[in-house]
Amino acid sequence: MPAKVHGDLGNINIDDNVIATIAGISAMESYGIVGMASKNATDGLFELLKMDNLAKGIKVYSKEDAIVIDLHVILEYGVKISVVAENIIDRVKFNVENQTGLKVEKINVNVQGIRVEK
């Protein structure tokens, strides 16, 4: 069910994929994140998504007046996970609320992996 913004002249319906794309781009701006992750159906392993598929690593749950966002991320080795996750939450919340006018109720950051550079 798309999220709705009510205005004086009518309603605006915002598809969950739009919210997921805003959230994905916002998360990628955070220090310490390598990318979004998606579970591979065949082997059950998580894979790093390319920039044009970020929304596949994000699930948006829309309610009438608020949304919940689940992010599945891969972080860099050596970063403090809690700090990076808080930064992602703050940035995603700010951008989604400012760009859509919707209230973000909760953001869950699921760390699916750590990438070690060789």
Class of domain 3-115 as given by CATH? alpha beta
Q: What is the pTM of this model?
A: 0.85
pLDDT on residue 118: 60
pLDDT on residue 31: 93
**Which pLDDT tens digit goes with each residue over 33-85?**
998 988 665 566 677 778 778 888 899 998 777 899 999 999 999 999 999 99
Q: What are phi and psi of 30, to 5 degrees?
A: -85, 145
Q: What is the CA radius of gyration of the chain?
A: 15
- The residues facing 111 across adjacent strands are 73
SS3 8: coil
Strand 33-39 with 11-14, pairing: unpaired
